[in-house]
Amino acid sequence: MKILVTGGAGFIGGNYCLKMTEKYPEDTFVCLDLLTYAGNLETLAPIMDRENFRFVKGDIRDRAFIDELFAQEKFDVVINFAAETHVDRSVEEPDVFVSTNVMGVQVLLDACRKHVVKRFHQVSTDEVYGDLPLDRPDLLFTETTPLHASSPYSASKAGADLLVLAYYRTFKLPVTISRCSNNYGPYQFPEKLIPLMVSRAMADQSLPVYGEGLNVRDWLHVYDHNTAIDLIVRKGRVGEVYNIGGHNEKANIEVVKTILKQLGKPESLIHYVKDRPGHDLRYAMDPTKLVTELGWQPEYNFDTGMAQTITWYVENRGWWEHILSGDYKEYYAKMYKDRQ
Ligand code: NAD
Ligand code: DAU
């Protein structure tokens, strides 16, 4: 099989490429990535010379370029990880979220139709369902929960999901969609909660916790997300949506305290700052369909997965220090100055 992996220089797509090129030596993987601020070729360095892997720099919104690539490569499968992904950035600059996350997906869908790709898989998110109340632990998102996005990011992902399903219904394009909860693991850009807190705590800098730190996220190791995507692509039913999650709900403050404890840093580093506008209260996924239909089970438990992840950031300072030394300083100053 020849598989196009868009956004493969990012966090989840990068972990996907590292694992799947090794697991499936008989398949060929072409990674297409624009290398925005979030893309990092250092992540892919260990597989750059593999025979079954090739990196191409390009933009999923560039119709002529995408058409040419599809004509040359004749992909069997397209897995779309490429997106603008940070909620706080979408509050500041929504345009690029609509452009990449909606228009870019439409360009890919058209190319899949024209070049008769056997499967288009859209990597979506639990955020398309909106949020759940904190005092109703019995409520979980299922695949039939109505879409109710809160941020420009999640609205753009919901828009993409609707387009993907419309291409299935109208053009019979063989599509699948997965909606996953929050991921943690190696190679995550340090604007996101866990790597941000680990890198700042290691430098004895203040840890900016939004609001009272009581918002709940449902954490899954990136490895388990990718095994689920792999199963859905190979065995999932076309036209279907599959929720992915491991029943690991944690309040943000618990996650931050776990990090401080493992690093041996004091809780006095915690600073409660102004909340994110429209901040979703709680996410919680029901992955029953994926488990019963495709037999998926997560391998990581949260405590050991988090411990390994924190250790990874401690042992791989070089990877995130390169990022922190660039435009990131400006980003942090701009995004957090009004939050103090
Ligand atoms: P990321 O921000 O780490 O990586 C995104 C990648 O997409 C980057 O390498 C970037 O360069 C690339 N990209 C951006 N715009 C592009 C364009 N126009 N053309 C080509 N490449 C482009 O994101 P991530 O956390 O790895 O998320 C991957 C996917 O998974 C996204 O679709 C996201 O919505 C979804 N998702 C993420 C999580 C999470 O917790 N991180 C959870 C559920 C779903
Ligand atoms: O749920 C899946 C989604 O998870 C993905 O679709 C998104 O791409 C991904 O970015 C992530 O979104 P979140 O907004 O949940 O992740 P983030 O790491 O930005 O924030 C996690 C929680 O931590 C959230 O409640 C906000 C809070 N937070 C975040 C940052 C960056 C803080 O308290 N302080 C911070 O500095």
3-state secondary structure 48-91: CCCCCEEEEECCCCCHHHHHHHHHHHCCCEEEECCCCCCHHHHH
Q: Quote the CA–CA distance of 158 and 27 in Å, as a whole number.
A: 31
- Confidence band for 329, pLDDT divided at 50, 70 and 90: confident
Ligand nearest to the CA of 279: 2
Ligand nearest to the CA of 249: 2
Ligand 2 cavity residues, CB under 6 Å: 85-87, 125-127, 181-182, 192-193, 196, 208-210, 215, 217, 252, 276, 283
Convert the pLDDT of each residue in 145-159 to its tens digit.
Answer: 999 999 999 999 999
Q: Tokens representing 148?
A: 């109710």
Which conformational region is residue 137 in: left (phi greater than 0), alpha (psi within -120 to 50 degrees), or beta?
A: alpha
**SS3 at position 122:** strand
Return the beta strands (E) in the chain as ranges.
2-6, 28-33, 53-57, 77-80, 119-125, 175-180, 183-184, 207-210, 216-218, 220-221, 240-244, 249-251, 270-273
Q: Is 125 in the pocket of ligand 1 (CB under 6 A)?
A: yes
Q: Is 80 in the pocket of ligand 1 (CB under 6 A)?
A: no
Nearest protein Cα to ligand 1, atom 15: 83
Convert the pLDDT of each residue in 217-251 to its tens digit.
Answer: 999 999 999 999 999 999 999 999 999 999 999 99
How many helices (H) does the chain have, and how many strands (E)? 14, 13
7 touches 82 (CB < 8 A): yes
Q: Measuring CA to CA, which residue among 185, 199, 213 is closest to residue 307? A: 185
Point out the residues that are catalytic: 126-127, 153
Distance 224 CA to ligand 1 centre (A): 17
Distance 193 CA to ligand 2 centre (A): 6
- Rounded to the nearest integer, the mean pLDDT of the chain is 97
- Confidence band for 334, pLDDT divided at 50, 70 and 90: confident
Q: Quote the CA–CA distance of 40 and 10 in Å, as a whole number.
A: 6
CATH of domain 2-185+222-246+282-299: 3.40.50.720
Nearest protein Cα to ligand 1, atom 13: 82
Nearest protein Cα to ligand 2, atom 30: 193
Antiparallel, parallel or unpaired: β 175-180 and 249-251: unpaired
Distance 182 CA to ligand 2 centre (A): 8
The model carries a pTM of 0.98
- Cβ-proximal residues to 233 (8 Å cutoff; 6+ apart), any chain: 77, 79, 119, 121, 176
Ligand nearest to the CA of 195: 2
Q: Quote the CA–CA distance of 321 and 313 in Å, as a whole number.
A: 10
Convert the pLDDT of each residue in 5-47 to its tens digit.
Answer: 999 999 999 999 999 999 999 999 999 999 999 999 999 999 9
Q: Quote the CA–CA distance of 197 and 257 in Å, as a whole number.
A: 10
